Amino acid sequence: MENILQFEADRRAFIITINSFGTELTLDDRERLYPTCGKLFPDGLARLARCEDYDQVKAVADCYPVCVITLCMIITCMGHSTCIRSMPQYLLVLGTTQERNHWRTNSLKKR
């Protein structure tokens, strides 16, 4: 479950940042909209808050390899409903993998 929440928090942070470009939203206002969890929290979110274009967002994602996939999915999915429908499938894979690892860890402790 933790992986799913982190993925969703990071995804939302990227979307908030990208959607705020060209709006009246100040950098401080944008930072207040970010979640307080995820792989980007807190340093990555502070860096995202200062981004003013896509290249800067990509540079932040590059510092967090696990987030590169999230950002690529967002950019690829913009305007494509089939891609947006596939995100829940990706989240299901994340959740299943975490449950499997949790079960495996707990079963090893019992031995």
pLDDT tens per residue across span 59-80: 998 898 877 777 776 766 665 5
Query: With a threshold of 0.75, does the pTM exceed it?
Result: no
Instruction: Give how far the C-alpha of residue 94 lies from the chain's centroid of Cα atoms, to the nearest Å.
Output: 13
Query: Which one-letter DSSP state was computed for residue 63?
Result: T
Backbone angles phi, psi at 35, to 5 degrees: -70, 160
Backbone angles phi, psi at 37, to 5 degrees: -155, 180
Answer yes or no: is pLDDT of 104 > 80.
no
